Amino acid sequence: MKRSDRILNEIKITFPSLSENESFARMAISGLVSQLNPQIDELSDIKTAVSEAVTNCIVHGYKDTVGTVAMTAKILVENEIYIRISDKGCGIEDIEAAMTPLYTSAPDEDRAGLGFTIMESFMDKLSVKSRVGKGTSVTMRKKLTTRKAIDENGREA
């Protein structure tokens, strides 16, 4: 494991793909990230990116059924946040098309098609992996400009 990938703290949660759990995911990530005392705009960006990823799982991954959404989030050394949100839903046939701004697989549902664009603009790194019939995984990373520096031993510097 690279030094920059050393984990200082992490959460792993699963929850049903219900719309009310989008706010639960936002609160869970907020609780973890708040340990670093981030700038308000950084915390807002992360919460919004998580919200978009979870909403995609709920709306597109499972469509009209209820499945499970998994979220793993880690605080890494050097004030970096790693977040992985996944489902075992229908998957994405064409990831490149899905990541195009304004693309939506549900045009009749008044969707803007900006989920991946928002995630990409608010986070430093975004990776999407998907297999049709198996599900989708979104991985995001962001380095914070925290007001509290954390050393490699997890202590305030």
Catalytic positions are 52, 56, 111
Tokens for 76, please give them.
Answer: 């890494």
**Closest by alpha carbon to 83, among 28, 151, 39?**
28
Q: How many CA atoms lie within 13 A of 70 on its CB side?
A: 12
Q: At 54, which helix (H) or strand (E)?
A: helix 40-56
Integer Cα distance of 81 and 69 in angstroms: 19
How many C-beta neighbours within 10 Å does residue 24 have? 16
